[in-house]
Amino acid sequence: MKKLLFAPVIAVLLILSSCSKKDSDDSPVVLDPITIELKGNDAMQFVGTTDFNVKSGQDINLKLTHIGQLPKEVMGHNVVVLKPGTNLDEFASIAFQAKDNDYIPATFASSIVAYTKLLGPGESDSIKFKIETPGVYNFVCSFPGHYGTMRGTITVK
């Protein structure tokens, strides 16, 4: 008789354990961080790949290195990641006037996703951020006159 009494308990335990297994299968996939490496030179260019694909919510490690030799005052480089729909011409013309803030215009704060320090020759800066909303995010160097040639995209899917 005792065996029969335990049978329903075992059945319930089996159901519970199969449920919890199902839950863990549904949990979100942990994404490995992605590294985006950019190098700015004395010819106002980002050397190498400038278009990147990331997944929504993925940790992004962005590293910028100034590989040129010209001084920061004439050939400074940074990376400013902007939200989709930001008018790049407008952003650049306002950034032009933000010398005191390393060309990061406060009036565009709501359009800026992330940015590095303004770098001189031999310097580098790393930033970490993530983007949840899918879309194409442009990035530029906001040093005066550079955004025309120093630009790229981060496509978030």
Among residues 143, 152, 154, 156, the one that binds Zn ion under rule CB under 5 A: 143
Q: How far apart are CA 129 and CA 58, in angstroms?
A: 9
* Closer to Zn ion by Cβ: residue 146 or 151: 146
> How many positions of this chain bind Zn ion (CB under 5 A)?
5
Residue 129, strand partner residues: 60
Q: For Zn ion, give the closer residue by CB, 52 or 139.
A: 139
State the minimum distance, in angstroms, from the CB of residue 113 to Zn ion: 18
**H/E element, 15:** helix 2-26
From the number of C-beta atoms within 10 Å of its C-beta (0-12, 13-18, 19+), residue 7 rates as exposed
CB of 43 to Zn ion, least distance (A): 10
User: Binding to Zn ion (CB under 5 A): which residues in 53-92?
Assistant: 77
Task: Please say which residue, 56 or 149, places its beta carbon nearer to Zn ion.
Answer: 149
CB-based closest residue to Zn ion: 141
Q: Shortest approach of Zn ion to residue 142 CB, angstroms?
A: 8
Helix %, strand %, coil % of the chain (to 5): 30, 30, 40
DSSP β-ladder status, 112-115 and 51-54:
unpaired
Token pair for 27: 């949990």
Residues that bind Zn ion (CB under 5 A): 77, 141, 143, 146, 150
